[in-house]
Amino acid sequence: MDQRRWRVKSPEQSIADTEEPGSKLRRDLGALDLVVFGVAVVVGAGIFTLAASTAGNIAGPSVSLAFVISAVACGLAALCYAEFASTVPVAGSAYTFSYATFGELVAWIIGWDLMLEFPLGAAVVAKAWSQYLAQVISLTGIKLETATVELGSLRFDWGALLVIAAITAVLALGIKLSSRVSQVITAIKIAVVLLVIAVGIRYVHMSNYTPFIPPPAPATPGGSGLEQSLLSLLGGSSTSVFGIYGLLAAASIVFFAFIGFDIVATTAEETRRPARDVPRGIIGSLVIVTILYIAVSLVVTGMVRYTDLATKPGGAKATLATAFTLNGVTWAAAIISIGALAGLTTVVLVISLGQTRVLFAMCRDGLLPRGLARTGARGTPVRLTLIVGAVVAAIAALFPAERLEEMVNVGTLSAFVLVSVGVLILRRTRPELTRAFRTPLVPWVPILAALSCLWLMVNLTVVTWLRFLTWLALGFVLYFAYGRQHSRLAVAQATQAPAPVEQRSP
């Protein structure tokens, strides 16, 4: 095989590329900004949408335990991300880290996986935002659907399109403005979440927690065959709805709620003191949201029977507001809907930010067109921001949200596995590198992180795996058709010269 595809880009070269004129990002962020970004993106879909619907359809009251399982896997991976981010403080997150350890081909695969994670993740949350928009409008007495226009078998969701357009405009105006918007909206939604816990706990009935892990439900059209988890299929079960297999499947699904701390790593290049602040941002945001998730999931499943949170045929998924509505606390349900609308806005914002930074790093390395890695006077990749906005808007406006969560999860988990293994490799190949943050208990923490993420992956559905493999095959085609020939490292190796640095006017 062509050795160029395995060439490793050194951390020193990655850092040097950040000073290249014309594609230089502005360093405007501090530790508080990063914690806010992490909390802004993580506190959203998990609390306002996934907790209730996953309890009703898959796990029952044990959804809180599913959050714990996912949090452990994310926490282990976060320690590995923190070490990499403090060692290679460059845009691109797992893509950049893989380039420094596994080489170009694996880096491309990870970048391609992240292109699955971020756009689909933003689209899923945008559709949830649209659902809450309809609820907020209904508070005024106006009945208005946000997804009404039929386009063949597709439904045009103008609400999702609206939020993506607004977010894209904010991101194009600069990273600091994005941070300020996130801080304000995040403060609002944290207040709403605390209100949910304070008010909801008064309506908790201990009997609703029994059975904590409901017995396995009979197979349904959506819970057997290709739609059941890979683990339950291999284990001989006919379903992954409720029971132990349901709990494990739920952990793989609510993992979507924790996606965000890895996006903090994509902003390392825009952080004033990345070696110190990025690890703080990653770990700090994960600790905060884990506590909030467990508390909210316990409250919502204690307020109503899990069967009342099940999705009815032809009906919308249960949300956090559903539990309050069923208890007659309509004023709290109204506040939750408004808070969710604000909260999901920041989730879309930060996920879109993460996507543009990963693409920016790939374009700068030549694996995608380098012309897209230009930054304007504000130090922002405006072209990429607009392209990402257009793609996410199309997905969110036209395609149904079902199963998109799992597609996001499988791409993210595969990236987490390689980052965890990458820590071990870089410790061995470059032990002399300065590491402002060091993952504790090496090699055990990285090994456990990789194994826990693999465990969550096998609990995703069979059809998700088939779609993921198809996505990977498409990525290989694109790499061999374009990336291999245009890679800066491959070109440099072919000419036996250092990787070229174009001299452009700032």
Pairwise CA distance, residues 232 & 235, whole Å: 5
Tell me, which fold does domain 25-495 have in CATH?
Amino acid/polyamine transporter I (1.20.1740)
Number of residues assigned to the chain: 506
Extract long-range pairs of 428-431: CB within 8 Å, 24+ residues apart.
Answer: 429/101, 430/11
Other beta carbons within 10 Å of 315 = 8
CA atoms within 13 A on the CB side of 3: 3
pLDDT score of 424: 92
In this structure, what is the dihedral angle of CA atoms 39, 42, 216, 326, given to the nearest 10 degrees?
70
Residue 83: partners with Cβ closer than 8 Å, 6 or more residues away: 279, 423, 435, 437, 438, 439
pLDDT score of 6: 64
Q: Which residue has the tokens 């009342």?
A: 308
pLDDT score of 120: 82
pLDDT score of 148: 61
Spatial contact of 422 and 102, defined as CB atoms under 8 Å apart: yes
pLDDT score of 504: 40
The series of mean pLDDT values per 10 residues for the chain, 506 residues long, is: 62 76 69 77 72 86 91 87 81 80 87 83 83 78 67 71 88 70 80 88 93 77 55 63 83 78 71 78 84 90 91 72 86 82 81 84 88 75 86 80 66 85 89 85 92 85 84 92 86 63 41
CA atoms within 13 A on the CB side of 336: 27
Cα distances (angstroms) measured from residue 255 to each of 154, 391, 409? 28, 24, 7
Q: Which two tokens stand for residue 481?
A: 């058709």
Domain boundaries, the chain: 25-495
